């Protein structure tokens, strides 16, 4: 090791949670060193902006908080300190304007993440935050110092406080690799195993469906699933048939209950409504109408608007006998059972579930087992659907931690 470096506060992780903690601490007069293992900061944040930077959501706060599911009670007071309106004002303060899309999602006017990140990093540098890239955290030494490896070799630092904002375990090439899990577990921190969230699922399609329809979008469909408690969930939207199964926003919205069903039962069944704009009686009347000399495919297309990948899914998921029966086909158009066998690998997921349990943290998000060590962002045990909810909670927990560290230092 090359020596010992002293720092007031060390932040490990340069994503939204870590950067927000750094801003708050610097504004409150703390000296801050932020370390990130990657060559540049905010890499996953930038990737999230590809195709449109969805920052937050404009729906009322009560349903917004409900998107955090089982962890709503823990996240509500945290997000309440920095709700969507405050987040938008903060973005405007960086010189970035926003707009609300037709779905209620909030975007920067140019739809890009890079200008926002550039303005933010400029602000942090002006505040005196020292940003260190290509610095990987390796854990703690026996005397409790942080052990890091940078471009010039390994070194230790003994900060007055430490913020861990290390993300989950998806998109490892962008820096979130979950390598922190054994380091914290060895120190007695209670951690829920990481699992894929906002992810696709495997079905095991036939060779025909894989070859002909992998990548085909399923538009104007609805999904119904019964969670392990027997509660029904239903939503209309879009998804995509993939070579291995199915993914997309409609699937992501229910990845948590689907994942839990697979864990409990070995598989999960979802029901797809291939014609959500038509009621069951109308579909039955159209499908059961005499088709004369027309083929089934032509009949389904002309009478029920079922063609392409939707028709292929009917053939795939129904037995030959069922597919030849008009009444059974009509029923399947409104509730096609699709059996999901497993979640796709965690590294492919948009985000992860699991992480440091809230029960292991105090109200400032300081680890009870490690006084002076705070955690923020996706490495905490929560999950949310896409739509701005993930980023909002990362920003909010980073802000809570920044204030929590400053308050703790003031009273230590």
pLDDT tens string 85-114: 999 999 999 999 999 998 899 999 999 999
CB atoms within 10 A of CB 320: 8
Highest mean pLDDT among 18-22, 66-70, 301-305: 18-22
Residue 344 DSSP code: P
Q: How many residues does the chain have?
A: 412
- pLDDT range class, residue 81, cuts 50, 70, 90: very high
pLDDT of residue 49: 64
Domains and CATH numbers, the chain: 4-196+349-410 (3.50.50.60), 201-343 (no CATH)
- pLDDT range class, residue 172, cuts 50, 70, 90: confident
50 pLDDT above the threshold of 80: no
Q: Mean per-residue pLDDT for 399-405?
A: 98
pLDDT of residue 170: 86
- pLDDT range class, residue 288, cuts 50, 70, 90: confident
Max CA separation in the chain (angstroms): 86
Question: What share of the chain in percent tops pLDDT 70?
Answer: 98
* Mean pLDDT, rounded, of the chain: 93
12 pLDDT above the threshold of 90: yes
pLDDT of 110-158, one tens digit each? 999 999 999 999 999 999 999 999 999 999 999 999 999 999 999 999 9
Beta-strand runs (E) in 203-346: 217-226, 232-241, 245-247, 268-273, 336-340, 342-343
- CA 210, 170, 261, 280 torsion: positive or negative? negative
Residues 368 and 362: beta-carbon distance below 8 Å: yes
**CA terminus-to-terminus distance, the chain:** 30
- pLDDT range class, residue 290, cuts 50, 70, 90: confident
């Amino acid at each position: 090791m090359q020596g010992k470096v002293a720092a007031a506060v060390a932040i490990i992780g340069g994503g939204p949670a870590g950067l927000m903690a750094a801003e708050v601490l610097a504004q409150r007069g703390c000296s801050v060193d932020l370390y990130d293992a990657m060559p540049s900061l905010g890499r996953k944040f930038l990737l999230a902006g590809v195709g449109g930077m969805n920052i937050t959501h404009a729906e009322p706060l009560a349903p917004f908080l409900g998107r955090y599911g089982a962890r709503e009670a823990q996240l509500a007071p945290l997000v309440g300190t920095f709700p969507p309106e405050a987040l938008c004002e903060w973005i405007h303060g960086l010189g970035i304007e926003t707009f609300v899309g037709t779905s209620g999602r909030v975007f920067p006017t140019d739809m890009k993440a890079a200008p926002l990140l550039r303005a933010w990093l400029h602000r942090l540098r002006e505040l005196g935050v020292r940003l260190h890239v290509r610095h990987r955290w390796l854990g703690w030494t026996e005397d409790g110092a942080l052990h890091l490896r940078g471009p010039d070799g390994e070194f230790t630092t003994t900060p007055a406080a430490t913020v861990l904002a290390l993300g989950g375990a998806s998109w490892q090439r962008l820096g979130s690799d979950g390598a922190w899990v054994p380091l914290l577990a060895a120190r007695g921190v209670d951690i829920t195993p990481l699992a894929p969230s906002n992810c696709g699922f495997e079905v095991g399609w036939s060779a025909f469906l894989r070859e002909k329809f992998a990548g085909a979008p399923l538009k104007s469909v609805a999904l119904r699933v019964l969670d392990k408690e027997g509660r029904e969930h239903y939503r209309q939207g879009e998804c995509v048939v993939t070579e291995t199964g199915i993914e997309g926003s409609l699937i992501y919205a229910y990845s948590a209950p689907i994942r839990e069903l697979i864990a409990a039962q070995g598989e999960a069944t979802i029901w797809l409504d291939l014609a959500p704009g038509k009621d069951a009686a109308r579909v039955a009347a159209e499908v059961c109408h005499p088709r004369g000399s027309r083929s089934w495919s032509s009949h389904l297309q002309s009478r029920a608007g079922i063609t392409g990948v939707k028709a292929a899914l009917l053939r795939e998921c129904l037995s030959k006998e069922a597919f030849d029966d008009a009444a059974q086909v009509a029923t399947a158009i409104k509730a096609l059972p699709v059996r999901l066998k497993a979640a796709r690998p965690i590294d492919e997921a948009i985000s992860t579930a699991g992480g440091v349990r809230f029960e292991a943290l105090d109200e400032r998000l300081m680890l009870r087992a490690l006084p002076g060590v705070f955690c923020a962002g996706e490495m905490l045990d929560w999950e949310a659907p896409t739509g701005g909810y993930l980023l909002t909670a990362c920003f909010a927990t980073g802000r809570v931690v920044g204030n929590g560290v400053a308050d703790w230092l003031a009273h230590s």
